Chain A
Amino acid sequence: MAETIDYSSLKKGGFMRQKQKGFFSLRLGVVGGNLTAENIKTIAEVAEKYGHGYVHMTSRQGVEIPFINFNDIEEVRGELAKGGVRPGVCGPRVRTVTACQGSALCPSGCIDSYELAKEFDERYFGRELPHKFKFGVTGCMNNCLKAEENDLGVKGGYVIEYKPDACISCGVCIKACREGALSLVDGKVVMDESKCNHCGRCVKACPADSWDYEPGYIVSFGGLFGNKIYKGEEIVPIIKDKETLFRVADAAIDFFDKNAKPGERFRLTLQRVGEEEFRKQIRAAYEGK
């Protein structure tokens, strides 16, 4: 029986082959680490009825139900769908989009990470590529979601502007800034823009609302955290609108699609074909060309 199993099409549907012959660990579709109570109940029922009564939390906010028998695959799919649970994916395609809770809940968040993760998911999830491609979204410089581990990581920040008339010269922001970008000169704040990393701590600490701020997206490309470890790199300045963000993300994923060899991770493609051309294309996308 096992010889007739089409493993690559099962991987596409989130079925991970186990050591145990005929059994699969079923990866589920999760966006930004959120599941509804109804989803969880359904997953629990399926794990009890078809699996071994437990789930595995993956390293990237996914959920897998181990020990699904090959013969039960269609029934399992059907029961999960009734509870609003969709299958995940494995293999050479866009994987689970991860996210922290972001500004919707977290006092530190600068962007709505979950909302952005959903948009990335709708736009890219499951897209066929030469190898896996991972998106991760983190709401602020604390980087709970480890943006730079991903093929494309997004980190939230603020683009700030000082409002001297509102400032009470208390000095709190000078110390809240961890980059040493701010100083108090003659009772007013002076900013060294070259040191600002857009963390937004000055804004959040200011008791007088004396900063204008706009949320922005800091994008990193080509992170790896598996066999090889490589920190994703920033190429363009902080992005202030989603249209530009998606244009840049499209450019990155299209570059990977066109240039990667089968089974080659994004970073290794960049190293092989040369990063200068990639940087040029990303800058062009950033500028809207």
Chain B
Amino acid sequence: MADIQYDEEVDITDKVCPLTFVKAKVAIDELDEGQIIAIRMNDGEPVQNVPRSIKDEGHQILKLADNEDGTYTLFVKKVGD
């Protein structure tokens, strides 16, 4: 799953909007600053909107990787507390 080293992972493919973002946000909240999380999400609405919502929260988006199984993994570095 891409060549980015990450500290935690969370799968939000079991949720629908807005809980996709909520689950991702809760997982990011548990990280320490600078840690990286891999967030697995479905194609369609989640991958259109969740990256932007996480950006708007002030975290750093590193990469969106296509898993080629109808899901994507977004790598995010936590910024601030």
Instruction: Mark interface residues in A177-194 (1 if CB within 8 Å of B CB, else 0).
Output: 010000000000000000
Known: A201-B48, A207-B55, A207-B61. 20 other contacts (CB 8 A): A107-B56, A168-B63, A170-B61, A170-B62, A171-B63, A171-B66, A172-B51, A172-B52, A172-B55, A172-B61, A172-B64, A172-B74, A174-B64, A175-B43, A175-B64, A176-B49, A176-B51, A201-B52, A205-B55, A207-B60
Instruction: Mark interface residues in B54-81 (1 if CB within 8 Å of A CB, else 0).
Output: 0110001111111000001010000000
B64 touches A170 (CB 8 A): yes
Alpha-carbon distance between A178 and B52 when the two chains are bound, in angstroms: 14
Q: B47 interface residue, CB < 8 Å from A? A: yes
Alpha-carbon distance between A276 and B52 when the two chains are bound, in angstroms: 42
Q: Whose C-beta in chain A lies nearest to the C-beta of B62?
A: A170
Q: Whose C-beta in chain A lies nearest to the C-beta of B56?
A: A107
Q: A204 interface residue, CB < 8 Å from B? A: yes
A residues sitting closer than 8 Å to B (CB atoms) are 107, 168-172, 174-176, 178, 201, 204-207
A175 touches B60 (CB 8 A): no
Alpha-carbon distance between A204 and B74 when the two chains are bound, in angstroms: 17
Alpha-carbon distance between A141 and B4 when the two chains are bound, in angstroms: 35
Q: Whose C-beta in chain B lies nearest to the C-beta of A171?
A: B64
A158 to chain B, nearest CB (A): 14
- Residues of chain B at interface, number, CB under 8 A: 17
B47 touches A175 (CB 8 A): yes
A176-B48, A178-B48, A207-B60 known; A171-B65 Cβ under 8 A: yes
Of B47, B56, B63, B64, the most chain A CB neighbours within 10 A belong to B64
Within 8 A of A (CB), among B11-60: 43, 47-49, 51-52, 55-56, 60
Q: With a CB–CB cut-off of 8 A, which chain B residues contact A172?
A: 51-52, 55, 61, 64, 74
Alpha-carbon distance between A172 and B43 when the two chains are bound, in angstroms: 12
A207 touches B56 (CB 8 A): no
A175-B47, A175-B72 known; A204-B63 Cβ under 8 A: no
Q: With a CB–CB cut-off of 8 A, which chain B residues contact A170?
A: 61-64
A171-B64, A171-B65, A171-B66 known; A204-B72 Cβ under 8 A: no
A91 to chain B, nearest CB (A): 44
Q: Whose C-beta in chain A lies nearest to the C-beta of B74?
A: A172
Alpha-carbon distance between A204 and B51 when the two chains are bound, in angstroms: 10
Alpha-carbon distance between A174 and B47 when the two chains are bound, in angstroms: 10
